[in-house]
Amino acid sequence: MSLKPTRAHLTRLMKIWRSAGWPSRDPIDIDVLAAGWVSLVGDHPAQECLRLTDAGIAVLAQSRQAQRRAESDHDKLALRMADLLMASGRLVWRELSLRAKVEADAPAHESKPAAIPGELSTLWADVPLEADSNDCEIGEAPEAFQAHRWRMARPDLFSVRRTSNPAYLQSMVHEVKVSRADLLSDLRHAAKRASYQWLCSECHYVFPHGLAEPQELPEELGVWVIHGDIDTGQLEMLRPARHAPCTIPFYVWMTMANASPVRTPLVQAQAELSHVDIR
C-alpha cells in the first residue's frame, strides 16, 4: 500500500521508536501497519507490540533530514542558545509578540539610514530612544502618555529564571544574528533596542564568532558568540549585559501564559513516555 506519511503518522512512528511499542489500536495504527512501516509482533493479543520495519526507519530518517534542511542557521543558533539558557535553570520563549513603551521624542537631525538591498524592512522606526523601566501602565498622568508611545517587539528569545521570588526573575532578551548586515541594521534602530530593554533586565546579542567585535555594540548590551559550526560549536559570553531593574508588566505574563515555553527533546520524550500531553 502506497501512503504518504503525515505529521500524525510521523509522530506515531517516533513514539513507537522511543517506547515499548504498545499498540494504540486506532486508525493511525491501521495506517502505519498497512503501509508496512511497522509490524505487529507477539504470540498473544495481550503481548502484542509494534516494531518499526526498515521502511519505517527510512521514513523517519527522511523526515529528519528534511526538517534539518528546513531549519535556517538563525533557528539553529536560537535553539542552541535556548538549550544553554534552559540548562542554567531558565524558562525560555521564542518570538513572543510583546508591546513595549519607549520615549516618543527624537532628535530632528537624525536621518533614516539607507536600506540594504535584499534586507527585510523593519517594523520599528529609526528613532534613537532609551528604555524607561520605571513607568507603569495604570494610573499614569496624561503627560506621561504624551511622552511615550507603544511599539511591538518580537525578541528571538525571552527568558526568566525558575524561581518563587519575583525579585529574582531577571528577565532577559537574547537577539540572534547570523549576518553582519542584519546586525548593523539592528544597531541603527535604537527604538528596537529600547523596546527590548524596556521588557527585560538584560539584553544580549548572539552571533557567530568573527561577525563583529564587542566594542562595535553599545556597552549596555551583552555579547555571546558561537565558535565553529553552529550545530556543534561552543557558546561563549564575551561581555555581560548591563543589569537594570525591570518589573514584567501583567500583559507580558498573559502573553507568556498563552504561549508554550521551549522544551528540550529529552523533556518532550519523557512526556510522551509518561502519557503527559505538553502543549
Q: Mark whether 196 and 97 lie in a shared domain.
A: yes
Q: Which of 70, 95, 115 is the last residue of a domain?
A: 70
Give a yes or no: residue 113 inside a domain. Answer: no
Q: Mark whether 82 and 164 lie in a shared domain.
A: yes
Residue 265's pLDDT is what?
62
Helices 54-70 and 7-18 sit at what angle, rounded to 10 degrees? Answer: 120
Give a yes or no: residue 152 inside a domain. Answer: yes
Domain extent at residue 159? 73-105+124-258
Give a yes or no: residue 101 inside a domain. Answer: yes
Give a yes or no: residue 110 inside a domain. Answer: no
Q: Mark whether 101 and 181 lie in a shared domain.
A: yes
Tell which residue, 243, 214, 210, 238, has the closest CA to residue 224.
Answer: 238
Residue 130's pLDDT is what?
41
* Number of folded domains that form the chain: 2
Q: How far apart are CA 158 and CA 186, in angstroms?
A: 17
228: left (phi over 0), alpha (psi -120 to 50) or beta: left
C-alpha cell at 229: 559550526
Task: Please report, in tens digits, the pLDDT of each residue of the chain (279 residues total).
Answer: 678 899 899 989 999 988 878 888 899 999 999 999 999 888 777 778 999 999 999 999 998 888 776 678 899 999 999 999 999 999 999 999 998 888 765 443 344 444 444 444 443 344 443 434 444 443 444 444 457 788 899 999 999 999 999 889 999 999 999 999 999 988 888 888 889 999 999 999 999 999 999 999 999 999 999 999 998 999 999 999 999 999 998 989 999 999 989 987 655 555 555 554 444
Residue 3's pLDDT is what?
84
Q: Mark whether 212 and 151 lie in a shared domain.
A: yes
Assign residue 22 the CATH number of its domain: 1.10.10
Q: Mark whether 224 and 96 lie in a shared domain.
A: yes
Torsion, CA 92, CA 94, CA 99, CA 103, rounded to 10: 80
